[in-house]
A and B are shown apart, each in its own frame.
Chain A
Amino acid sequence: KQEVTQIPAALSVPEGENLVLNCSFTDSAIYNLQWFRQDPGKGLTSLLLIQSSQREQTSGRLNASLDKSSGRSTLYIAASQPGDSATYLCAVHGGSYIPTFGRGTSLIVHP
Protein backbone atom coordinates (compact mmCIF):
# COMPACT_ATOMS: atom_id res chain seq x y z
CA LYS A 1 0.00 0.00 0.00
CA GLN A 2 1.31 3.42 -0.97
CA GLU A 3 2.43 5.63 1.90
CA VAL A 4 3.25 9.30 1.57
CA THR A 5 5.28 11.20 4.13
CA GLN A 6 5.83 14.93 4.23
CA ILE A 7 8.68 16.51 6.13
CA PRO A 8 8.74 18.81 7.96
CA ALA A 9 5.25 18.82 9.45
CA ALA A 10 5.57 22.50 10.27
CA LEU A 11 7.92 25.26 9.22
CA SER A 12 8.26 28.88 10.26
CA VAL A 13 10.60 31.14 8.30
CA PRO A 14 11.26 34.86 7.90
CA GLU A 15 10.12 36.55 4.74
CA GLY A 16 12.54 36.30 1.83
CA GLU A 17 13.97 32.88 2.60
CA ASN A 18 14.15 30.15 0.02
CA LEU A 19 12.70 26.94 1.34
CA VAL A 20 12.22 23.29 0.47
CA LEU A 21 9.31 21.05 1.36
CA ASN A 22 9.78 17.31 1.08
CA CYS A 23 7.46 14.51 0.06
CA SER A 24 8.45 10.84 -0.01
CA PHE A 25 6.47 7.84 -1.20
CA THR A 26 6.98 4.10 -0.91
CA ASP A 27 5.74 2.77 -4.27
CA SER A 28 7.46 4.25 -7.31
CA ALA A 29 4.80 2.96 -9.75
CA ILE A 30 2.98 6.26 -10.06
CA TYR A 31 1.18 8.21 -12.81
CA ASN A 32 1.95 11.61 -11.39
CA LEU A 33 2.49 13.61 -8.23
CA GLN A 34 0.50 16.71 -7.45
CA TRP A 35 1.28 19.52 -5.00
CA PHE A 36 -1.64 21.39 -3.43
CA ARG A 37 -1.97 24.46 -1.29
CA GLN A 38 -4.65 24.72 1.40
CA ASP A 39 -5.49 27.86 3.34
CA PRO A 40 -7.13 27.31 6.76
CA GLY A 41 -10.65 25.96 6.38
CA LYS A 42 -10.50 26.30 2.61
CA GLY A 43 -10.29 23.97 -0.37
CA LEU A 44 -7.26 22.48 -2.03
CA THR A 45 -5.72 24.47 -4.86
CA SER A 46 -3.49 22.60 -7.27
CA LEU A 47 -0.06 24.20 -7.58
CA LEU A 48 1.96 21.85 -9.73
CA LEU A 49 1.58 18.42 -11.26
CA ILE A 50 4.56 16.35 -12.35
CA GLN A 51 3.89 13.44 -14.64
CA SER A 52 5.81 10.23 -14.06
CA SER A 53 7.94 10.87 -17.13
CA GLN A 54 8.91 14.37 -16.01
CA ARG A 55 11.62 15.50 -13.64
CA GLU A 56 10.33 18.91 -12.64
CA GLN A 57 7.71 21.60 -13.13
CA THR A 58 7.88 25.32 -12.49
CA SER A 59 5.28 27.98 -11.85
CA GLY A 60 6.47 31.43 -10.87
CA ARG A 61 8.43 31.15 -7.61
CA LEU A 62 7.55 27.48 -7.24
CA ASN A 63 9.56 24.57 -8.54
CA ALA A 64 8.66 20.93 -7.95
CA SER A 65 10.97 18.03 -8.71
CA LEU A 66 10.32 14.33 -8.90
CA ASP A 67 12.73 11.43 -8.46
CA LYS A 68 10.67 8.30 -8.93
CA SER A 69 13.50 5.87 -8.35
CA SER A 70 14.16 7.23 -4.87
CA GLY A 71 10.48 7.92 -4.15
CA ARG A 72 10.94 11.61 -3.49
CA SER A 73 9.59 14.98 -4.55
CA THR A 74 10.52 18.43 -3.37
CA LEU A 75 8.66 21.71 -3.60
CA TYR A 76 11.00 24.67 -3.71
CA ILE A 77 9.62 28.11 -2.87
CA ALA A 78 11.87 31.01 -3.76
CA ALA A 79 11.87 34.32 -1.92
CA SER A 80 9.04 33.36 0.41
CA GLN A 81 6.33 35.90 1.27
CA PRO A 82 3.76 36.10 4.09
CA GLY A 83 1.09 35.26 1.50
CA ASP A 84 2.74 31.87 1.05
CA SER A 85 1.61 30.90 4.55
CA ALA A 86 -0.60 27.83 4.16
CA THR A 87 -0.53 24.06 4.36
CA TYR A 88 1.11 22.29 1.44
CA LEU A 89 -0.02 18.79 0.56
CA CYS A 90 1.41 16.33 -1.88
CA ALA A 91 -0.69 13.62 -3.50
CA VAL A 92 0.62 10.59 -5.34
CA HIS A 93 -1.51 9.00 -8.05
CA GLY A 94 -0.78 5.34 -8.65
CA GLY A 95 -2.33 2.56 -10.67
CA SER A 96 -5.73 2.84 -9.04
CA TYR A 97 -7.91 5.92 -9.20
CA ILE A 98 -7.29 6.63 -5.56
CA PRO A 99 -4.67 9.25 -4.76
CA THR A 100 -2.65 8.94 -1.58
CA PHE A 101 -2.12 12.16 0.35
CA GLY A 102 0.57 13.16 2.75
CA ARG A 103 -0.38 14.87 6.03
CA GLY A 104 0.97 18.18 4.78
CA THR A 105 3.53 20.78 5.79
CA SER A 106 2.16 23.80 7.62
CA LEU A 107 4.15 26.85 6.54
CA ILE A 108 4.26 30.22 8.25
CA VAL A 109 6.22 33.04 6.65
CA HIS A 110 6.54 35.94 9.04
CA PRO A 111 7.32 39.51 7.99
Chain B
Amino acid sequence: EAQVTQNPRYLITVTGKKLTVTCSQNMNHEYMSWYRQDPGLGLRQIYYSMNVEVTDKGDVPEGYKVSRKEKRNFPLILESPSPNQTSLYFCASSSAQDRERYGYTFGSGTRLTVV
Protein backbone atom coordinates (compact mmCIF):
# COMPACT_ATOMS: atom_id res chain seq x y z
CA GLU B 1 0.00 0.00 0.00
CA ALA B 2 1.30 3.43 -0.99
CA GLN B 3 1.75 5.47 2.15
CA VAL B 4 3.70 7.95 4.22
CA THR B 5 4.63 6.55 7.62
CA GLN B 6 5.47 8.72 10.59
CA ASN B 7 6.79 7.59 13.93
CA PRO B 8 6.03 7.97 16.71
CA ARG B 9 2.34 8.86 16.65
CA TYR B 10 2.51 10.39 20.11
CA LEU B 11 5.48 11.75 22.01
CA ILE B 12 5.85 13.53 25.33
CA THR B 13 9.29 14.87 26.09
CA VAL B 14 11.06 17.37 28.30
CA THR B 15 12.55 20.70 27.31
CA GLY B 16 16.02 20.38 25.83
CA LYS B 17 16.02 16.65 25.16
CA LYS B 18 16.89 16.01 21.53
CA LEU B 19 14.36 14.02 19.55
CA THR B 20 13.79 12.78 16.03
CA VAL B 21 10.49 12.17 14.28
CA THR B 22 10.86 9.79 11.38
CA CYS B 23 9.06 9.94 8.05
CA SER B 24 9.24 7.32 5.34
CA GLN B 25 7.42 6.97 2.02
CA ASN B 26 7.25 3.95 -0.27
CA MET B 27 6.19 5.72 -3.46
CA ASN B 28 9.62 6.80 -4.73
CA HIS B 29 8.53 10.44 -4.39
CA GLU B 30 11.10 13.15 -4.94
CA TYR B 31 9.38 15.84 -2.89
CA MET B 32 8.91 15.57 0.88
CA SER B 33 7.85 18.15 3.40
CA TRP B 34 7.17 18.71 7.10
CA TYR B 35 4.28 20.76 8.49
CA ARG B 36 3.08 21.71 11.90
CA GLN B 37 -0.56 22.36 12.66
CA ASP B 38 -1.70 24.56 15.51
CA PRO B 39 -5.22 25.72 16.42
CA GLY B 40 -6.11 28.93 14.61
CA LEU B 41 -2.89 28.93 12.57
CA GLY B 42 -3.58 26.20 10.06
CA LEU B 43 -0.82 24.17 8.43
CA ARG B 44 2.59 25.80 8.35
CA GLN B 45 5.50 24.40 6.44
CA ILE B 46 8.71 23.75 8.40
CA TYR B 47 11.12 22.32 5.82
CA TYR B 48 10.90 20.67 2.45
CA SER B 49 13.12 18.63 0.20
CA MET B 50 13.07 18.44 -3.57
CA ASN B 51 15.29 15.35 -3.71
CA VAL B 52 18.14 13.55 -1.99
CA GLU B 53 20.57 15.97 -0.33
CA VAL B 54 18.39 18.97 -1.29
CA THR B 55 16.53 20.66 1.56
CA ASP B 56 15.13 24.13 2.08
CA LYS B 57 13.41 26.17 4.76
CA GLY B 58 9.69 26.63 4.85
CA ASP B 59 7.76 29.27 6.76
CA VAL B 60 8.70 28.23 10.31
CA PRO B 61 12.11 26.48 10.29
CA GLU B 62 13.51 27.87 13.56
CA GLY B 63 14.34 25.15 16.08
CA TYR B 64 14.17 22.33 13.54
CA LYS B 65 16.60 20.40 11.36
CA VAL B 66 16.05 17.90 8.59
CA SER B 67 18.13 15.62 6.44
CA ARG B 68 17.52 13.75 3.20
CA LYS B 69 20.21 11.12 2.84
CA GLU B 70 17.90 8.62 1.16
CA LYS B 71 14.97 9.23 -1.12
CA ARG B 72 12.44 7.44 1.07
CA ASN B 73 13.33 9.03 4.44
CA PHE B 74 13.00 12.59 5.69
CA PRO B 75 13.48 12.80 9.48
CA LEU B 76 12.63 15.90 11.48
CA ILE B 77 15.09 16.69 14.25
CA LEU B 78 14.49 18.90 17.26
CA GLU B 79 17.91 19.50 18.79
CA SER B 80 16.61 21.28 21.89
CA PRO B 81 12.81 21.13 22.03
CA SER B 82 10.91 23.90 23.75
CA PRO B 83 7.25 24.06 24.89
CA ASN B 84 6.34 26.29 21.91
CA GLN B 85 7.11 23.31 19.67
CA THR B 86 4.20 21.41 21.15
CA SER B 87 2.10 20.75 18.09
CA LEU B 88 0.70 18.23 15.62
CA TYR B 89 3.29 17.43 12.96
CA PHE B 90 2.69 16.05 9.48
CA CYS B 91 4.98 14.70 6.82
CA ALA B 92 3.89 14.77 3.17
CA SER B 93 5.30 13.59 -0.13
CA SER B 94 4.66 14.04 -3.82
CA SER B 95 6.02 12.88 -7.13
CA ALA B 96 7.85 15.55 -9.12
CA GLN B 97 6.74 14.11 -12.45
CA ASP B 98 3.19 13.15 -11.53
CA ARG B 99 2.18 15.81 -9.02
CA GLU B 100 -0.35 17.28 -11.38
CA ARG B 101 -2.25 14.01 -11.46
CA TYR B 102 -1.67 12.66 -7.97
CA GLY B 103 -1.04 15.58 -5.63
CA TYR B 104 0.24 15.07 -2.11
CA THR B 105 0.06 12.18 0.33
CA PHE B 106 0.16 12.88 4.07
CA GLY B 107 1.26 10.82 7.01
CA SER B 108 -1.03 10.19 9.99
CA GLY B 109 0.63 12.81 12.13
CA THR B 110 2.77 12.98 15.27
CA ARG B 111 1.36 14.62 18.36
CA LEU B 112 4.33 16.15 20.20
CA THR B 113 4.11 17.60 23.69
CA VAL B 114 7.14 19.33 25.20
CA VAL B 115 6.94 19.95 28.95
A51 CB-CB contact with B under 8 Å:
yes
User: Given A31-B99, A44-B90, are A97 and B31 also a contact pair (CB < 8 Å)?
Assistant: yes
**A88-111: which residues lie under 8 A (CB-CB) from chain B?**
89, 91, 93, 97-99, 101-104
Name the contact of A46 in the complex, choosing from B31, B43, B104, B108 (C-beta under 8 A).
B104
* Complex: A45 Cα to B90 Cα, angstroms: 12
User: Given A51-B100, A93-B99, are A43 and B45 also a contact pair (CB < 8 Å)?
Assistant: no
Name the contact of B102 in the complex, choosing from A44, A49, A104 (C-beta under 8 A).
A49
Are the C-beta atoms of A97 and B96 separated by less than 8 Å? Answer: yes
Name the contact of A32 in the complex, choosing from B100, B108, B111 (C-beta under 8 A).
B100
* Complex: A43 Cα to B43 Cα, angstroms: 12
A52 CB-CB contact with B under 8 Å:
yes
Are the C-beta atoms of B104 and A99 separated by less than 8 Å? Answer: yes
Report the minimal beta-carbon distance from B24 to chain A, rounded to whole angstroms.
15
Q: Which B residues lie at the A interface, using CB under 8 A?
A: 31, 33, 42-43, 45, 48, 50, 58, 88, 90, 92, 94, 96, 99-109, 111
Q: A45-B106, A93-B99, A97-B33 are in contact. List 20 more A-B contacts (CB 8 A).
A: A31-B99, A34-B104, A41-B88, A42-B108, A43-B90, A43-B109, A44-B92, A44-B106, A46-B104, A49-B102, A49-B103, A89-B43, A91-B103, A93-B100, A93-B103, A97-B31, A97-B50, A98-B48, A99-B104, A102-B42
